[in-house]
């Protein structure tokens, strides 16, 4: 087979690879936008952590500028919402008498936020630590 035959053979896989990347880019953009639109409507930090934590983007399309921008937009909006929800959760937790239910909710949220919202994890850990100190000193 000559050079023209090789080009024809290698042309088909290139087109299918390009098609795959276009499809994965479109899927990522749709998924990221859907997640971003859900962010303001998630009622709890736990629910928000599940939405953002489940968001997966194919590693081949992460470097695509439009995908990177959508990821940054999602992370930014989710981070702002997470900060507000964490503050509300901690305020509720500190206002309530210490109960197993509220401690369980805080621990469950802390686990869900690990790896997703590191700043909020620190806030929740601090609240748990302060509550233990209050209980121990009582």
- Where along the chain do its domains lie? 3-137
Q: Are 50 and 56 a contacting pair, CB within 8 Å?
A: no
Output b/e per residue, 11-36; b: 16+ Cβ within 10 A: eeeeeeeeeeeeebbeebbebbeebb
> What are the backbone dihedrals phi and psi of residue 56, each rounded to the nearest 5 degrees, phi first?
-125, 140
Full pLDDT tens readout for the chain, 138 residues:
444 444 444 555 668 889 999 999 999 999 999 999 999 999 999 999 999 999 999 999 999 999 999 999 999 999 999 999 999 999 998 888 777 888 888 999 999 999 999 999 999 999 888 655 343 333
């Amino acid at each position: 087979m000559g050079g023209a035959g090789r080009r024809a053979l290698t042309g088909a896989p290139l087109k299918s690879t390009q098609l795959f990347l276009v499809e994965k880019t479109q899927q990522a953009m749709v998924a990221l936008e859907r997640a971003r639109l859900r962010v303001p409507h998630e009622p709890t930090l736990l629910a928000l952590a599940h939405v953002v934590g489940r968001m997966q983007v194919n590693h081949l399309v992460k470097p695509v500028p439009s995908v990177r921008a959508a990821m940054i937009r999602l992370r930014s909006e989710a981070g702002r919402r997470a900060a507000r929800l964490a503050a509300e959760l901690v305020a509720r937790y500190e206002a309530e008498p210490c109960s197993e239910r509220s401690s369980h909710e805080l621990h469950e949220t802390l686990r869900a936020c690990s790896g997703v919202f590191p700043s909020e994890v620190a806030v929740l850990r601090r609240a748990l630590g302060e509550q233990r100190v209050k209980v121990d000193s009582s």
